Amino acid sequence: MNFALTEEIKGILDTAHRFVEREVVPRLKEENFKRDMVSKMGELGFFGCAFPPRYGGSDSGFLAHSVVCEEISRGDSGLRSLFNLQAMTVPYTMMEWGTEAVRDKYVKDLVLGAKLGCTCFSEPNAGSDLAAIETQIADKGDHFEINGSKTWISNGTVADYAVVYGTTDRNLKRRGLCAVVVETKQTGWIARETPKLGDKSSPIAEITLENVTAPKENLLGKMGDGFTVAMTALDRGRISVSSGAVGLAQACLEASVTYANQRIAFGKLIREFQQVKAVIAEMAAQIEAARLLVRKAAWLNDQGLPFTREIAIAKYFSGEVVVRAAGLAMEVHGGMGYSLEMPVEKYYRDSKLYQVGEGTVNIMRLLIGDDALGIKNANRPRFHTPSEFRGQE
């Protein structure tokens, strides 16, 4: 296997690194949504790695997407969710499953950061169990009418477009699920921001949908395809989440190395103490392992090969690694880690999300365990592969 990044990906990574140091790090203390940052990242092509030129992309692939997402998260993990919403679970899902009308109307503006997107999976009574979704999608002849409630919706208060998952008939369970593109600037879309522990650069909302409408052409896939659409979207979203976890863990390591090289205790730099060396070594080894798992899954997707199992392993492991790394960074910093002067307290707050978003720790364990035990094959068949969209001008 060749683990070297291509010159193209190295160039993209270098651009992302310079952007992080110039634009992101100086504003790390601003824990709020930064609309201008979305526009800048869109203009630089950060959201478009997996998209063809037709939709504002560079055709660089999912590995490139992973590398850029990791680098941005190293600067501010709160910006990581944008790589789900502006690249994966919203526009890529539209490109993969939508009509030509949907693709041409929505995808490019999202990839370029001109418009904002959100994905509406979770509900008060439905999270990991998507088949329990209660939001109703009613066929009204020439349009759909949607009623229900959604929770934990990233970008929910700022999104222009949403991919909403609902059911035509709850008795059909997963076979009744549908995915529909909704324009949020309409009466009936009511968003309320949800306060949270970390990841504060990404607003999360509760959404109420009261007689919200969408044209019939905005259906993704066919009637009843919603569960399949959701599963493919989640696989891709886990590339972003896992990459973000690695990036944040890397930030924890770099902050710890910097502090250990400056802090003096008992007359010498704390980097000389074996316990500190052991902590740094553990962080470095686990981060490198997580990075390789994530990049392998992204590479498999680029090749058009099944990768559900591999990205589940990467998502599970990287989520555990980043929480561990954040805790160890607090230990290295001692009392200063608990203060608001150092960034590690933010890293600590942000890290926990990676054990929850895009599939909880326990769901990942079930998926991986069932596959290992031969109970259920984790890898799903590919309905579409990246090669279908490459090179479109």
pLDDT digits (tens, 9 = 90+) for 48-98: 999 999 999 999 999 999 999 999 999 999 999 999 999 999 999 999 999
Q: Other C-beta atoms within 10 Å of 99: how many?
A: 16
* pTM of this structure: 0.96
Of all residues in the chain, the percent with pLDDT exceeding 90 is 92
For 228-388, CATH number out of 3.40.630.10, 3.30.1360.170, 1.20.140.10, 3.30.420.40 equals 1.20.140.10
Does position 393 have pLDDT exceeding 80, yes or no?
Answer: no
Q: How far apart are CA 2 and CA 38, in angstroms?
A: 33
Q: How far apart are CA 19 and CA 36, in angstroms?
A: 13
Looking at residues 262-275, what average pLDDT do you find? 96
Q: Which residues are catalytic?
A: 358
CATH class of 117-224: mainly beta
Does position 293 have pLDDT exceeding 70, yes or no?
Answer: yes
Q: How far apart are CA 119 and CA 102, in angstroms?
A: 16
The answer to whether 301 and 386 have CB atoms below 8 angstroms apart is yes
Q: Which residues in the chain are classed under CATH 2.40.110.10?
A: 117-224
Does position 321 have pLDDT exceeding 70, yes or no?
Answer: yes
The C-alpha R_g of the chain, in whole angstroms, comes to 21
Q: Which residues in the chain are classed under CATH 1.20.140.10?
A: 228-388
Q: How far apart are CA 194 and CA 188, in angstroms?
A: 19
CATH class of 7-111: mainly alpha
Of all residues in the chain, the percent with pLDDT exceeding 70 is 100
Does position 31 have pLDDT exceeding 90, yes or no?
Answer: no
The pLDDT mean for the chain works out to: 95
Q: Which residues in the chain are classed under CATH 1.10.540.10?
A: 7-111
**Of how many residues is the chain composed?**
393
Residue 58: per-residue pLDDT: 96
Does position 266 have pLDDT exceeding 70, yes or no?
Answer: yes
One-letter amino acid of 88: M
Q: Which residues sit opposite 149 in a β-bridge?
A: 208
Does position 1 have pLDDT exceeding 70, yes or no?
Answer: no
Q: Other C-beta atoms within 10 Å of 245: how many?
A: 35
Which region among 11-25, 301-315, 375-389 has the lowest average model confidence (pLDDT)? 375-389
Does position 330 have pLDDT exceeding 90, yes or no?
Answer: yes
One-letter amino acid of 87: A
Does position 220 have pLDDT exceeding 90, yes or no?
Answer: yes
Looking at residues 128-154, what average pLDDT do you find? 95
Q: Residue 246 has which token pair?
A: 């690695």
The answer to whether 81 and 69 have CB atoms below 8 angstroms apart is no
pLDDT in tens, 99-136: 999 999 999 999 999 999 999 999 999 988 888 999 99
Contacts of 7 (CB under 8 A, 6+ apart): none
